[in-house]
């Protein structure tokens, strides 16, 4: 908005928007990031004016089908034989408002989303002519629309509602019967279509075809009967289908998971990250009364663009599970945090050098891992973590299903080959050399260290859900899901990103950094930090990769910063 492009040394074009002169960059990146002539819609955005649009999406090819972005514009005349543009009496360049070639008394609009700006162009973004075009497109979109907002999931975040309010007219002259189309169509395992609500903007088709590379969505029938459909007998089932629900400007595509669960205006929104693979897609958590209802991708062009995968998006139910770990366990069974932290600290402070091993999780935050390395250094503990692999796809999802492998490597918790020290840890326990094992967020019985071996050590465990390792724990410290705390992860490409707290953890559970901090304070004797900001900044000042990138909690912003790998 209102950027001073002159200073950025980019080539600019001078246009007028609603009478106001403005210089805008001559080109703007298109959906693939390639520079293309700046459009009327983009120029208006620079002027702080939103041109209403349905089919246009910055990350999809432009097709110009909804016509919602029609705007009336004026252009300087063509140069005459003398090479000069026609002028007004006062010598200024004469501007010719566009008109229908075959009906000069009628103004002609251009589509803002696909019309390149020209030097001297005047954009009448708010003129009566433009308003009339918008009203008429909206009216056309509404004549066959069911107008069932009261039971529509999109209500509250529906562009049809919004634009009708901002740009529509109260009444329509429509006197005929509406077209009826299929409702509650099962497009695929996660998506339901209401074809009557669809405005046929083809965003879903273009996303699926051009971004995902899947041809499974298309349109059948003709004209006013056009309907979104899959091939007969085929299912809309790639790992990105739910993004179509996000970009569908109306309530035509709904998520089976979220359908009829909650009115969107009740949802509290929290900036967070997906933890399902090392890509670290940015998300927004929608929650209400300490219950999480959905993830939505949050735009971050350096990471996930506008998108996220379905498996990541739907993997949140565990957070609210009834059987979450929520009680502390100490030497005498049920206990309290002060007691258990004192006991654990005492135990570690008295442990022989080299007699402790730490198996941390590469799904823990940078801050937690940082505290663990401090502890490890002090007591000369061996550390590693557990690899977690899946299948990568061609878009966002990568093989590494650990959220923070890169962070764990930068911080030195694990090496290039994650888990390479697990066998020597096992041997250490077998030989009796290792007497204490600290495990965070992993079930080590699945990685070669079985229950029998676990009996041989003092076992300090922190986790979120029950498993064989938590069962065997001598000290059990319930931790938090990322949605219940703050922290940072470093994604596979070295982007350090932070996430915020949306929910309160259950029972005794505490953010791991809080109790780890206490233990480190007790054992190592470091100065204490009251906040995650302080902890992060302290880490950023100590860890080389973070220091080189001059990171600070504040500088990370909403979209994170890259560190050199």
Q: Which residues bind ligand FES (CB under 6 A)?
A: 53-56, 64-69, 111-113
396 binds, among ligand SF4, another protein, ligand FES, none (CB under 5 to 8 A by kind): ligand SF4
Least distance in angstroms from the C-beta of 60 to another protein: 14
Provide the H-helix boundaries in 380-511: 405-410, 422-431, 451-454, 468-472
Give DSSP secondary structure letters for 499-524: E---SPPPTT---HHHHHHHHHHHHH
Chain CA centroid to CA 7, Å: 31
Separation between Cα atoms, residue 69 and residue 52, nearest integer Å:
5
Q: With binding defined as CB under 8 A, does residue 169 bind another protein? A: no
Q: With binding defined as CB under 8 A, does residue 175 bind another protein? A: yes
Separation between Cα atoms, residue 131 and residue 110, nearest integer Å:
13
396, 439, 472, 532: residue in contact with ligand SF4 (rule CB under 6 A): 396
| Residues 365 and 410 sit within 8 Å (Cβ to Cβ) | no
Distance separating the N- and C-terminal Cα atoms of the chain: 34
Here's the x/- map for another protein, 435-464, by CB under 8 A: it reads as ------------------------------
Q: Which residues pair with 487 in a beta bridge?
A: 499
| Residues 563 and 306 sit within 8 Å (Cβ to Cβ) | no
225, 231, 266, 318: residue in contact with another protein (rule CB under 8 A): 225
Q: With binding defined as CB under 8 A, does residue 97 bind another protein? A: no
| Residues 498 and 556 sit within 8 Å (Cβ to Cβ) | yes
Residues between 312 and 331 that touch ligand SF4 (CB under 6 A): 312
Separation between Cα atoms, residue 1 and residue 373, nearest integer Å:
44
Q: With binding defined as CB under 6 A, does residue 490 bind ligand SF4? A: no
Q: Which C-beta is closer to ligand FES: that of 125 or that of 483?
A: 125
From the list 42-50, 172-180, 268-276, 556-564, the region that binds another protein by CB under 8 A is 172-180
Here's the x/- map for ligand SF4, 174-203, by CB under 6 A: it reads as ------------------------xxxxxx
Pairing of strands 495-499, 487-490: antiparallel
9, 88, 106, 350: residue in contact with another protein (rule CB under 8 A): 106
From the list 122-130, 301-309, 330-338, 544-552, the region that binds ligand SF4 by CB under 6 A is 301-309
Q: Which C-beta is closer to another protein: that of 78 or that of 222?
A: 222
Give DSSP secondary structure letters for 75-125: EEPPP-TTSPPPB-TTSSBPEEE-EETTEEEEE-EEETTTPBP-TT-EEET
121, 250, 408, 472: residue in contact with ligand SF4 (rule CB under 6 A): 250
Least distance in angstroms from the C-beta of 59 to another protein: 18
Say which DSSP state 166 is in. H
Q: Order of strands, edge to edge, in the sheet holding 329-330?
A: 333-334, 329-330, 475-478, 458-463, 436-440, 356-359, 382-384
Q: With binding defined as CB under 6 A, does residue 111 bind ligand SF4? A: no
From the list 23-31, 269-277, 323-331, 440-448, the region that binds ligand SF4 by CB under 6 A is 269-277
Separation between Cα atoms, residue 552 and residue 30, nearest integer Å:
32
Q: With binding defined as CB under 8 A, does residue 68 bind another protein? A: yes
Least distance in angstroms from the C-beta of 67 to another protein: 5
Separation between Cα atoms, residue 370 and residue 412, nearest integer Å:
9
From the list 107-115, 156-164, 258-266, 395-403, the region that binds another protein by CB under 8 A is 107-115
3, 14, 100, 147: residue in contact with another protein (rule CB under 8 A): 100
Separation between Cα atoms, residue 54 and residue 236, nearest integer Å:
22
Separation between Cα atoms, residue 458 and residue 476, nearest integer Å:
11
Number of residues this chain uses to bind another protein (CB under 8 A): 42
CA distances from 162 to 312, 313, 520 (A): 30, 26, 53
The residue among 477, 528, 489 whose CA lies nearest residue 300 is 489
The set of residues, in sequence order, having a beta carbon less than 8 Å from that of 549 and lying 6+ positions away, is: 496, 561, 562, 563, 564
Residue bearing tokens 């969505």: 217
Least distance in angstroms from the C-beta of 250 to ligand SF4: 5
Q: Which C-beta is closer to ligand SF4: that of 348 or that of 396?
A: 396
276 binds, among ligand SF4, another protein, ligand FES, none (CB under 5 to 8 A by kind): ligand SF4
Q: Which C-beta is closer to ligand FES: that of 112 or that of 297?
A: 112
Q: Which C-beta is closer to ligand SF4: that of 10 or that of 314?
A: 314
56 binds, among another protein, ligand SF4, ligand FES, none (CB under 5 to 8 A by kind): ligand FES
Q: With binding defined as CB under 6 A, does residue 397 bind ligand SF4? A: yes
Q: Which C-beta is closer to another protein: that of 63 or that of 262?
A: 63
Q: Which C-beta is closer to ligand FES: that of 112 or that of 505?
A: 112
Least distance in angstroms from the C-beta of 492 to ligand SF4: 9
The set of residues, in sequence order, having a beta carbon less than 8 Å from that of 414 and lying 6+ positions away, is: 360, 362, 383, 384, 385, 405, 408, 421
Q: With binding defined as CB under 6 A, does residue 481 bind ligand SF4? A: no
Interface positions with ligand SF4 (CB under 6 A): 198-204, 228, 248-250, 252-253, 274, 276-277, 279-281, 304, 308-309, 311-312, 396-397
Summarize as ranges the residues that interact with another protein (CB under 8 A).
62-68, 70, 100, 102-103, 106, 108-109, 111, 114-116, 133, 136-137, 139-141, 143-144, 173-177, 179, 199-200, 218-219, 221-226
């Amino acid at each position: 908005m209102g950027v001073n492009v002159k200073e950025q040394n980019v080539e600019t074009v001078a246009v007028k928007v609603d009478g106001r002169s403005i210089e805008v960059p001559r080109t703007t990146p298109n959906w693939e990031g390639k520079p293309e002539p700046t459009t009327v819609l983009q120029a208006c955005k620079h002027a702080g004016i939103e041109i209403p649009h349905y089919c246009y999406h910055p990350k999809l090819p432009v097709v110009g089908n909804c016509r919602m972005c029609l705007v009336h514009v004026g252009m300087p005349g063509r140069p005459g034989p003398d090479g000069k543009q026609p002028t007004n009496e006062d010598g200024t360049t004469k501007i010719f408002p566009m008109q229908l070639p075959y009906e000069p008394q009628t103004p002609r609009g251009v589509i803002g989303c696909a019309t390149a700006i020209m030097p001297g162009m005047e954009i009448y973004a708010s003129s009566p002519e433009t308003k009339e075009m918008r009203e008429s497109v909206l009216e056309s979109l509404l004549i066959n629309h069911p107008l069932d907002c009261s039971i529509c999931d999109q209500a509250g975040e529906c562009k049809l509602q919004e634009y009708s309010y901002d740009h529509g007219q109260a009444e329509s002259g429509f006197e005929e019967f509406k077209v009826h189309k299929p409702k509650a169509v099962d497009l695929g395992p996660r998506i339901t279509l209401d074809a009557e609500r669809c405005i046929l903007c083809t965003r879903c088709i273009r996303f699926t075809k051009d971004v995902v590379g899947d041809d499974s969505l298309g349109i059948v029938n003709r004209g006013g009967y056009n309907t979104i459909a899959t091939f007969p007998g085929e299912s809309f089932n790639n790992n990105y289908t739910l993004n179509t629900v996000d970009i569908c400007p109306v309530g035509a595509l709904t998520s089976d998971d979220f359908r009829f669960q909650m009115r969107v205006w009740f949802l509290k929104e929290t900036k967070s990250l997906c933890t399902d693979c090392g890509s670290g897609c940015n998300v927004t958590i929608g929650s209400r009364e300490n219950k999480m209802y959905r993830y939505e991708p949050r735009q971050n062009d350096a990471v996930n663009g506008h998108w996220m995968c379905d498996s990541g998006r739907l993997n949140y139910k565990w957070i609210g599970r009834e059987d979450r770990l929520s009680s502390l366990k100490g030497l005498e069974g049920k206990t309290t945090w002060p007691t258990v932290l004192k006991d654990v600290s005492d135990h570690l402070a008295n442990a022989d050098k080299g007699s402790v091993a730490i198996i941390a999780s590469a799904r823990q935050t940078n801050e937690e891992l940082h505290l663990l390395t401090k502890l490890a250094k002090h007591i000369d503990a061996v550390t590693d973590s557990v690899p977690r692999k899946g299948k990568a796809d061609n878009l966002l999802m990568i093989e590494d299903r650990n959220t923070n492998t890169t962070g764990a490597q930068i911080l030195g918790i694990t090496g290039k080959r994650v888990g390479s020290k697990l066998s020597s840890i096992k041997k250490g326990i077998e030989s009796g050399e290792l007497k204490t094992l600290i495990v965070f967020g992993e079930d080590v019985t699945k990685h070669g260290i079985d229950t029998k071996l676990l009996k041989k050590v003092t076992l300090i465990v922190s986790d979120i859900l029950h498993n064989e390792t938590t069962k065997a724990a001598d000290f059990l410290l319930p931790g938090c899901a990322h949605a219940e705390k703050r922290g940072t992860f470093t994604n596979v490409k070295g982007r350090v990103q932070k996430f915020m707290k949306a929910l309160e953890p259950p029972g005794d559970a505490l953010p791991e950094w809080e109790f780890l901090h206490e233990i480190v304070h007790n054992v190592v004797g470091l100065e204490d930090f009251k906040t995650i900001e302080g902890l992060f900044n302290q880490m950023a000042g100590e860890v080389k990769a973070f220091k080189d990138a001059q990171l600070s909690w504040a500088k990370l912003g909403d979209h994170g910063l890259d560190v050199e790998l």
